[in-house]
Every structure is written in structure tokens, then in C-alpha cells.
Amino acid sequence: MSDWGAEDQRILRSLRAVDEPTEQDRGRVAARLEAELSISLGLGATLVGLATTSTSVAGATAANVATTAASVASAPSTGGTLGLLGLAKWSVAVVAVGAAGWVASTWSERSVDTPDPSSVAPSAPRTTSAPPLRPTPRDARTKDAPPELEQPALTPPTLTSPAPTPESETTASRRTATRAPTSAPSKTFGLEDELALIGDAQKALAKNDATRALTLLERHAHDYPRGTLQLERSGLLAIASCQSGRTTEGRARATRFLSAHANSPLAARIRKSCGLAE
Amino acid sequence: MVTPGDCLPSTAELLPREPVPEFAALYAQYFPFVWRMARRLGVQANALDDVCQEVFVVVHRRLDDFEGRSSLKSWIFGILHNVVLVHRRKLRRKSPETLDPESSFEPDLLPDSGYDPHERASWAEEARLAQSALAELDEDKRTVLVLVELEGMTAPEVAEALGVNVNTTSARLRAARKQFAAWVTRYRARERWRTP
């Protein structure tokens, strides 16, 4: 019978590097969290703060900053708290690399080349209907025991997940990391502006000011036709149209959105706003 | 029956209290862990963003509840585990054939820097071998083995995260190691037979 040995351990540990996220993965999820939670993880603010100077950061310098910061950001999680400084450095790295066209090409590709995710993409994990899972008894758990998901609490994100990412797209994004810089779109560093517009539209909707929401969303469509948050825009446009009384237009938008993104976290809100059945 | 509560107090006593970082710092520190473990729990690439986002949404909402009685890592993994289970349930409803944890390994994800071709080929081969061996394990064993061997968690931490008894966790770990090693041995034997 085989016993656990050094070779087995080495083989298993060969997987350590396989599942490591890229800086793009980290930045993408951070941006989504900032949008959903209306918080700053340092990314948005840093992007804005450095956007004006980033163009002066040339390739080699950018790469150096990125390398330094990446090493900070990838410090072993058991090595202590990374701290805001580390996050800030990492953010600088993202911007710096972005200046070299890395982030630029990836983000623009994500927007431009996004295939219809409905055919392949599973949905966001949040759901409005699934009962809480109880894989193990937790009645006696302490307060710090991992909390179970309480579905109702998961549903009200003001700004919910962007497009589910199709497999090929994700892979493509990763591959892009090693790709030579292409043309950097002028709106690369507009994520903060995108967030502000979509966030304001969301707030307007919450105040039943659908007209203002429509204005903001149309401005977003004009300024960022292929923006990172275009999926949010599409969903919110459907809601805003229906809320503002433009029911026919709103329902058409809702139907289009739901046919492509039936499992979007926005789907339930859209159906409700536009009076569509499940 | 032993409930999680039976083992948690003693487990908690073993763990030093750690300060709870701000959410931003926590994200910086634990995002790679969450991402890796989501992958290792079989979340496909097209859903990773959603799953990781959801985990941190829950972490953000519950952070004030965290009192340092368990390790942050195990607390966060517990959240991830639940999020992944919900995600799977959704997938299963939608299309059962997409639920294939064994297909979660993607050669495309192998990083390709820092290795010469031979070294890389050898390493990639070992990674594939490891993935295949892991796929042979049932999920309980696989999860414990990965958390301990790849993430450096202790058995009490894993027990805490999964809400199971420490003894159960240790037994799963022993069984997982044994099964993994046996699979590797069989694989090596087959290889020798094929290429005398």
C-alpha cells in the first residue's frame, strides 16, 4: 500500500501555481465589489488619482512598479496583513501596467469581444430562490462559524454583477496578459467615471427618479458604449424605462436583457419593474 | 452525533486571536486564497468572478460579526464553501452536465514563465497528474487535502471551516493522502509498463 511521501507532496504542490489569480482577476473582481458595495478598495481612487499622470509612466518603469507591487500583493496570505499600503501599491501596479497597454487591451477586449454569455455562462452565485444550504449541522455553531447564506440578504445589491464571463473570454483575457500592447483606448481609465454614472443612476432609481436615471444611463451609453459596466447599464435601462412609464420600450429592453442574461442578479428586479412573469 | 459546536470552542482556544483587518486589506490578503480555492472546488473559469465577488460581498456584510474566535482564513473559506454549494445547486438545476469537477483543470491556465521547456513540461505533467489524482478523491477528502497541503491550514482550522469534528478532518486527511499516493503509484507503474 502506498504511503504519503515526498514525491506525492511535490506532485500535489505542483498545483500551487496553477490556480493563482492574475492581477487582472484581482482588479476585475475588486472593481465589481466597489460597484456593488459602494466602497473603495483603493482601486478606483488610485485609478483616478493616477490617470492624469499614468501616460507619463513608460513601459520599463511601469513594469518595475508592477513587479514590485505584484510581489507585495502576492505575499503569502499567512504572512500577516497586507494592509492598505500593499493594496495601494498593487493599485499603482495596475495603473502602471495599464499605461503600458496591458490593462487597456484586456479591459477593452473584455468589452468588445464579449460573446453572448447566455449560451455558456452560468450565472452569478447569488440567487433569490434557492433555500440556504446546510451541508453540515450548524445549530450549535459559534458566532464566528462561517455564516451560511441567507438568500434574501444576498439579493439587494444596488449594482449587481456584471456579465457572467464566458470561458473563452476569461481564457482570452489571461492570454492577453502576455500580449504586446495594442492601442490604448482613451477611456481605459474611466472606470471610476463609469462607476459614478451607474451608481448615480442606481441611486436615482432608488428614489424613483427614473427620468434622471435614464439621463445618466444614456450618458453612460454615449460615453462608454463598450464600457466595463455595459451589462449593468442594459439592465438598469430596462428598469428605468419601465419605471418612467416607457413601458413598451422598457419591456423590449427587458426581454432582450433577460433572453441573454436570464440568471443575472438584475433579472428579478427587471421582471418586477416591467411586470414580466418569471 | 457530534455537532460542530462540540469541537468549536476547543478549536477556538487553540487559535490565537488575530486582528480583523479593514475590508480593503482583507480583500488584498485573501483574494488569491478565495480564487484558488474556488477553482479547486471546481468552479469553472466563467463563473469565478461571480463566485469570488459573492464571497466578498458576504464577508463585507458579516465582517462586523467576526469576533476572532476562529481564524479569518477558515471563516472566509466557510463562506466560500457555502457560496460554491449554492452555485453548484444552481448549475445543477440548469444543466447537470456542466457539473464536472474533474474537468476543472485547464492546461491553458498553466503559467509559462520562468521555466525552460523541459522543466515546464515536467512540471506541467506533474500538475496534470496531481489534478487527476485529486479527481479520484471524493470531495470531502479532496478539500481537506488541498486546504492542508496547498493552503497550509491546520486540521483544526479546516474542521472549523467545514463545520466538522477535528478527528473527522484528520481521518479524511489521512485517507486522502493514502488514496492520492496510491493513485500516483499506480500511474507510475502504468507509465513504466508503457515505456519499458
| Residue B18 binned pLDDT confidence (cut-offs 50, 70, 90) | low
Chain B CA closest to residue A75:
B29
pLDDT over 90 (residue B166): yes
Burial B56-74 (b: 16+ CB within 10 A, else e): bbbbbebbeebeebbbbbb
Q: Is B71 on the interface with A (CB under 8 A)?
A: no
Contact state of A165 with B87 under an 8 Å Cβ cutoff: no
Residues of chain A with C-beta less than 8 angstroms from the C-beta of B52: 29
Question: Which residues from B are below 8 Å from A77, CB to CB?
Answer: 29-30, 32-33, 73
Q: Which helix (H) or strand (E) covers residue A110, if one does?
A: helix A102-112
Q: What is the pLDDT of residue A247?
A: 87
Q: Dump pLDDT digits (tens) for B55-107.
A: 999 999 998 888 777 789 999 999 999 999 999 888 888 775 554 444 444 43
Identify residue B95 by its one-letter amino acid code.
S
Whether residue B45 contacts residue B100, with contact meaning beta carbons closer than 8 Å, is answered with no
The contacts of residue B160 (CB under 8 Å, 6+ apart) are: A145, B8, B11, B12, B15, B70, B71, B74, B75, B78
Task: Report the C-alpha gap between A110 and A104 in whole angstroms.
Answer: 10
Is the pLDDT score of B45 beyond 80? yes
* Nearest CA-CA distance, residue A144 and chain B, Å: 5
The pLDDT confidence band at residue B144, using thresholds 50, 70 and 90, is: very high
* Distance separating alpha carbons of residues A56 and A108, to the nearest angstrom: 21
User: How crowded is residue A187: how many other Cβ atoms within 10 Å of its Cβ?
Assistant: 19
Residue A160's contacts (CB-CB under 8 Å, 6 or more residues apart) are A36, A124, A126, A232, A235, A264, A265, A266
Q: How many whole angstroms from its chain centre is CA A30? A: 6
- The residue ranking higher by pLDDT, B102 or B45, is B45
Model confidence band, residue B180 (pLDDT cutoffs 50, 70, 90): very high
Q: Is A269 in a helix, a strand, or coil? A: helix
Binary contact (A146, B163; C-beta < 8 A): yes
- Alpha carbon distance A257, A192 (integer Å): 24
Question: Residue A39 and residue A262: Cα distance in Å, rounded?
Answer: 27
Helix, strand or coil, per DSSP, at residue B160: helix
pLDDT of residue A134: 34
Is A161 in contact with A125 (CB distance < 8 Å)? no
Task: Write down how long chain A is.
Answer: 278
- Give the integer Cα–Cα distance in Å for A101 and B48: 24
Smallest CA–CA distance, residue A52 to chain B, in Å, is 24
A&B contacts, CB < 8 Å? 284
Predicted confidence at residue B68, as pLDDT, reads: 78
The alpha-carbon radius of gyration of chain A (Å, integer) is 21
Alpha-carbon distance A90 to A76, whole Å? Answer: 15
Query: Is the pTM here over 0.90, yes or no?
Result: no
Global ipTM = 0.77
At residue A72, the pLDDT reads 35
| Alpha helical stretches, state H, chain B | 4-14, 23-40, 45-62, 72-94, 117-136, 139-149, 155-162, 166-194
Nearest to B32 by CA among A92, A225, A73: A73
Distance from CA of B71 to the nearest CA of A (A): 9
- Put simply, the chain A residues between 242 and 271 with a CB less than 8 A from any chain B CB are 263
Closest by alpha carbon to A270, among A218, A235, A245, A230?
A235
Angle between helix B139-149 and helix B155-162 axes, rounded to 10 deg: 140
Supply the pLDDT for residue B191: 76
- Break chain B down into helix, strand, coil percent, rounded to 5: 75, 0, 25
Query: What's the pLDDT at A113?
Result: 35
Name every residue whose Cβ is closer than 8 Å to that of residue A193 and which is 6 or more positions away in sequence: A223, A224
- Residues A15 and B131: beta-carbon distance below 8 Å: yes
| Residues shown for chain B | 196
- Report the range of poorest mean pLDDT among A261-270, B34-43, B124-133, B146-155: A261-270
Helix axes A23-37, A43-54, angle to 10 degrees: 120
What mean pLDDT, rounded, does chain B reach? Answer: 79
Radius of gyration of chain B (CA): 18
Q: Shortest CA distance to B75 belongs to which of B33, B43, B45?
A: B33
* pLDDT values of chain A reduced to their tens digit, one per residue, 278 residues: 568 888 898 889 888 777 788 888 888 999 889 888 888 886 543 333 333 333 333 333 333 333 333 333 333 333 333 333 333 333 333 333 333 333 333 333 333 333 333 333 333 433 333 333 333 333 334 456 655 554 433 333 333 333 433 334 343 343 333 333 333 333 444 666 777 788 888 888 888 888 889 888 988 888 877 777 777 888 899 999 998 888 888 998 898 888 887 777 788 888 888 988 87
Q: Check pLDDT > 80 for residue B38.
A: yes
* Number of other residues whose CB lies within 10 A of the CB of residue A133: 17
Answer yes or no: do B25 and A84 touch at CB < 8 A: yes
